[in-house]
Amino acid sequence: MTGLFVEVWGDGTPVVLVHGSLATGADEWQAQRPLADEGFRLLVLDRRGYGRSPTAVGEDFLRDGDDIAE
């Protein structure tokens, strides 16, 4: 288990939203939040080392991909 923090907005078709390197998930995706009222379940995660997810040493995009897929 990765322990990544995932916030869920809405119900319906799942959409995984992954932030970049300068923000957390909730900060990065506020403009998309209205989609939660249009039949989408937005899975807004904090990558490892950001926000409420576990800490990390440096950036590791392969590990990020594995975390997100899990």
Average pLDDT by stretches of 10, the chain with 70 residues: 90 95 91 97 95 90 89
Answer yes or no: pTM beyond 0.85. yes
Q: Which residue has the tokens 């997100």?
A: 68
Specify the pLDDT at position 2. 78
Q: How big is the chain, counted in residues? A: 70
The DSSP secondary-structure symbol of 61 reads: H
For residues 16 and 7, give the distance between their C-alpha atoms in angstroms, rounded to a whole number. Answer: 10
Grouping H, G, I as helix, E, B as strand and the rest as coil, residue 43 is strand
